[in-house]
Amino acid sequence: MWGSNARSAHPIFFHHILKGIHNGARMYCVDPRRSDSAQWADVWLGIDVGTDIALANAVAKVIVDEGLHRLDFIEKSTTGFDDFVESIQSYTLEYAEQTTGVPGDVIREMAIAYATAESAQICWTLGITEHHNATDNVLALINLSLLTGHVGRYGSGLVPVRGQNNVQGGGDMGALPNKLPGFQDVEDHEARGKFEAQWGHPIPAKAGNHLTLMFEAMEHGDMKALYVIGENPAQSEADVGKARRIMRGLDFLVVQDIFLTRTAEMADVVFPAAADWCEADGTVTSSERRVQRVRKALEPPGDAKTDVEIVSMLAAELGYSWGLPKAEELWDELRSLSPMHAGMSYQRLEDLGGLQWPCYDEEHPGELFLHGRLWEDPPRGRLAPFSPIVHAPPVDQLSDEFPYRMTTGRHLDSYNTGVQSGGYDSPLRAGGTIDVSPEDAASLEIAEGELVTVSSRRGSLEAPLRIDEALRPGLVFMTLHFPDEADVNQLTIEAWDPQSGTAEFKATAVRLEKAAL
Amino acid sequence: MSDVTITVDGRSVAVSDDATILDACRDLGQDQPTLCYLENLTPVNACRVCVVEVEGSRTLVPSCSRSAEEGMVVKTDSPRVRLSRKMVLEFLASSVDLSQSTEEVHSWLDQYEVDVARYGPQVTGAAPRDGRHAGHHAIPTGLTAETVDQPVKVDNELYIRDYAKCILCYKCVEACGEDAQNTFAIAVAGRGFDARISTEFDVALPGSACVYCGNCIGVCPTGALQFRSEYELRQEGLWEEDEQTVTRTVCSYCGVGCNLELHVQDNRIVKVTSPMDHSVTNGHLCIKGRFGYDYVQELGDDLASTPIDIVLKRARSG
């Protein structure tokens, strides 16, 4: 587990991990906090925030130095090994210990355990991806799996655990600036032509902007209208004060949501939507690429309509007559255009409790894991490249003025900006606190429950202090669940990864002071 | 896996060598009554209602956990088995409130001709039982049937514990423990007839290790553990199970893809369960999946037109 607190954020996935642990599987947990998940680990590696590449490269160097890399797999199925080995030479255990805060012998132990295990997986979530160098972090982990052959085999693999019930499905369906449904490239003429023929309309031939670039375009006045569906950027964006200023500068904002969110409050037009998971029919795709049916159990309130109805009605206003297609009809059209979904009829999804893509025809059972092709002889398709990666510390550096490293994450009973989870009374709800280590609470002379002023280079807020023994001195924590109480994204930095567009929510430099009464 | 062949009530059946006698019976379409057994939990052999007679075995054996062995000859309906099951069910039915147990449980009470009246009138009075110590109570007269009647524990917004309905099947302990949730908030406390399910030192749930996954409710066969919403609706006589629809969908929170069964009455979600046969959840959920649906409920406050809403609202007011 690397940068994932699945015990709290993905509890039922963690049930499966616990079964493994009870069956004798060993778990190493890399996390700045001794999280709920870390408490189940054989070894907890309390890493300093944003030093994952230094750790991963040091692990790789141990594996290579000890001769534990899997040369047959590397030679047959990968490229760039020699350059990669050269790139990790400076990542000695001494350097890694100094940079990451994890003792060298512990790094060495994990490296040897990972390399010599019959099967091993690396699971990660936003602790890896909410950094300015998110893609590099992921590539550094991929390097480890290529070194050891822990990929594309039953029981081994790379497991990014998805944070939303259909964030995978959104990508699958082409809600990405450069992809059509089924991950077909929008700039691929043949693929695009297929969709254009089916839809009877040309599709822009160039990749669009991802969210972060959209905000830049809005800031520069290149983008003047925005249509937001089921997202709450007025509370979820990093450096949210700036994001709100930018959105206020728009000529026209449309928001389609099940609630009048803070973003919807800013809108010129609001489309009240039905809740997809219980007021409409359709599918979602889970973290394990499993496409499953969602079904209508409730009538939506008032004038709320399903997303399909709203989009169809909007199309009618724009002069296109789509009628009101049923979810299954849309899905069948998707199956005709996206080969990896072709075998997933509604009937099969119903009978089998979901199917994991790719699923090419109605006889195909779906794939339990990907990249098995790398083990074929010779490997099918493109060989897997090693990526030389250089450690780069968080953008928001610690200083005398901002000496604490703040990171963010989820609580078990709450979710994202609280739009959904705020609706029920949870006996566990802790509220928007600033969590600090017992040592820091003592040195700051602030007691639990007392108000603290938390300031970063971008903003400042007040929140009650909570002592958390899972934190080490110098590390503080806030959740994103309670923006109305503690607007944590006033503090976070919008520095973002140029490849994924994800902002560095996980690493903010802050100052703590007892709030003036 | 090799097959083993056993005989059940004169019929021969081949099963895999990791099958239990219960598996073999089910293969033959001869399900056996079970209270403490559930497919997604490790058998604890607590209830003894599934016992069968195995030729050559001195005692009756629990079919839910005993492995099928080559050549085994099993009787599931012999007089000895029937008597044993009758006694087990009578002891439970005379001491526990089974009124909200599953329909299956009631069918077994009929099947084994359970006669509760012969134990005398049931002692009720709803005194708390958590402070009891083994051996420190009055000697029964034998004229009345001792019961586990006690007040309902209502100490949080999400679920209630009505241990007057508890048959000590241990399923909740298993689900809270190693079989699923691994939180270990509850265990069996006390001895003998005073044995009971308890948090540590009988603290209220909000002070315990409980994380409100509700997986204990999901496995409870008698209604001892209930959604607060179900409990309050039953109290008001508004729980209409026959009118409820059950729709399977996928949880709206994280990316794990847990399947939910939404129990809906009057266009309101009144309970959430999870299918046991689904490989993602195996019947288990977390607090968000099980209870985090209020944001799609638009509860009215007009007593005349939306009485169910008033009750649901009250259920969540803590």
- Render pLDDT for A467-484 as a digit per residue (tens, 0 to 9): 999 999 999 999 988 888
User: What single-letter DSSP state applies at residue A160?
Assistant: E
Average confidence (pLDDT) over A34-47:
97
Q: Is the pLDDT of residue B213 over 80?
A: yes
Q: How far is CA B118 from CA A377, A502, B48, B114, in A?
A: 76, 71, 21, 10
Would A170 be classed as within a structural domain?
Answer: no
**Spatial separation of the C-alpha atoms in residues B172 and B218, rounded to whole Å:** 8
Domain count, chain A: 2
Looking at CA atoms only, how far is residue B25 from chain A in angstroms? 26
Write down the pLDDT at residue A11.
Answer: 97
Is A260 in contact with A270 (CB distance < 8 Å)?
yes
pLDDT of residue B123: 84
What number of C-beta contacts closer than 8 Å exist between A and B? 170
pLDDT of B316 reads: 81
Which domain-ending residue is among A155, A190, A216?
A155
User: For chain B, what percent of residues have pLDDT higher than 70?
Assistant: 99
- pTM, two decimals, is 0.94
Taking the CA of residue B298 and the nearest CA in chain A, the distance in Å comes to 7
- Chain A partners of B180 at a C-beta cutoff of 8 Å? 15
Assign A138 a pLDDT band (cuts: 50, 70, 90): very high
Domain end call among A96, A123, A155: A155
CB contact (8 A) between residue B249 and residue A22: no
Which residues 6+ apart lie within 8 Å of B57 measured at CB?
A: none
In angstroms, the separation between the Cα of residue B71 and the nearest Cα of chain A is 31
Mean pLDDT of chain A: 95
**Topology (CATH level 3) of domain B159-315:** Alpha-Beta Plaits (3.30.70)
CB contact under 8 A, A12 and B318: no
Q: Give the nearest chain B residue to A23 (CA atoms).
A: B178
CB contact under 8 A, A294 and B212: no
Question: Does any domain span residue A449?
Answer: yes
Alpha-carbon span A198 to A74, nearest angstrom:
42
Contact B247 A296 (CB under 8 A): yes
Taking the C-alpha atoms of residue A249 and residue A387, their distance in angstroms, rounded to an integer, is 41
Question: Across the interface, do B254 and A297 touch by the CB < 8 Å criterion?
Answer: no
Residue B221, min C-alpha distance to chain A (Å): 22
Which residues of chain B have a CB within 8 Å of the CB of A302?
A: 298
Whether A39 is in a domain gets the answer yes
pLDDT of residue B223: 96
Min CA distance, A22 vs chain B (Å)? 8
Window A:230-259, CB contacts with B under 8 Å: 258-259
pLDDT, average across residues A194-203: 95
Q: Which of A110, A135, A155 is the last residue of a domain?
A: A155
Average confidence (pLDDT) over A129-134:
94
Give the model confidence (pLDDT) of A415-455 as tens digits. 888 888 888 889 999 889 999 999 999 999 999 999 999 99
Chain A positions touching B278 (Cβ under 8 A) are 353
Q: For B316, left (φ over 0), alpha (ψ -120 to 50), or beta?
A: alpha
Alpha helices in chain B (DSSP H): 21-27, 79-95, 103-111, 171-176, 215-219, 228-235, 287-291, 307-315
Measured CA to CA, the distance from residue B86 to residue B63 in angstroms comes to: 16
Least confident window among A151-160, B40-49, B210-219, B237-246: B40-49
Q: What percent of chain B has pLDDT over 90?
A: 84
Does pLDDT of B2 surpass 80?
no
Domain B3-81 has CATH 3.10.20.740: yes
Closest in A167, A414, A427 to B255, CB measured: A167
A216 within domain boundaries: no
Per-residue confidence at A494, pLDDT binned at 50, 70, 90?
A: confident
Structure confidence at residue A419 (pLDDT): 81
Which 255-294 residues of chain A touch chain B by CB within 8 A?
258-259, 275-279, 284-288, 290, 292-294
Q: How confident is the model at residue B318 (pLDDT cuts 50, 70, 90)?
A: low
Distances (CA, A) of A108 to A104, A141, A393, B106, B273: 6, 16, 22, 60, 45
Cβ pair A419:B295 closer than 8 A: yes
Does residue A278 surpass a pLDDT of 90? yes
Q: Would you say residue A177 lies in a domain?
A: no
- Residue B158 in contact with residue B228, Cβ under 8 Å? yes
Contact B158 A353 (CB under 8 A): no
**Residue B1 pLDDT exceeds 70:** no
Residue A37: pLDDT above 80?
yes
Could you tell me the CATH number of the domain that includes residue A465? 2.40.40.20
Q: Is A17 on the interface with B (CB under 8 A)?
A: no
A12/B289 Cβ within 8 A: yes
Q: How far apart are CA B294 and CA B299, in angstroms?
A: 9
Residue A495 confidence (pLDDT): 87
Confidence at residue B136, expressed as pLDDT on a 0 to 100 scale:
72
pLDDT above 80: residue B162: yes
A309-368 pLDDT per residue, tens:
999 999 999 999 989 999 999 999 999 999 999 999 999 999 999 999 999 999 999 999
Answer whether residue A292 is part of any domain.
no
Using CA coordinates, name the residue in chain A closest to B300.
A301
Q: Which of residues 296-335 of A touch B (CB under 8 A)?
A: 296-299, 301-302
A contacts of B267 (beta carbons < 8 Å): 298-299
Window 147-166 of A: residues touching B by CB (8 A cutoff) are: 161-166
B67/chain A closest Cα distance in angstroms? 21
Please report, for the domain that includes residue A109, its CATH number: 3.40.228.10
The full set of domain ranges for chain B reads 3-81, 82-119, 159-315
Is residue A260 included in any domain, yes or no?
no
Beta strands in A169-310 (DSSP E): 179-180, 184-185, 225-229, 252-257, 269-272, 282-285, 290-294
Question: A49 is in which domain, residue-wise?
Answer: 6-155
Q: Compare all CA atoms of chain B with the CA of A302 and give the residue at the minimum distance.
A: B298
Classify residue A318: in a domain, yes or no. no
CB proximity under 8 Å: A 374-413 to B: 412-413
Instruction: Indicate whether B138 pLDDT > 80.
Output: no
Q: Position of tokens 């904002």?
A: A253
Residues 422-461 of A with CB under 8 A from B: 422-428
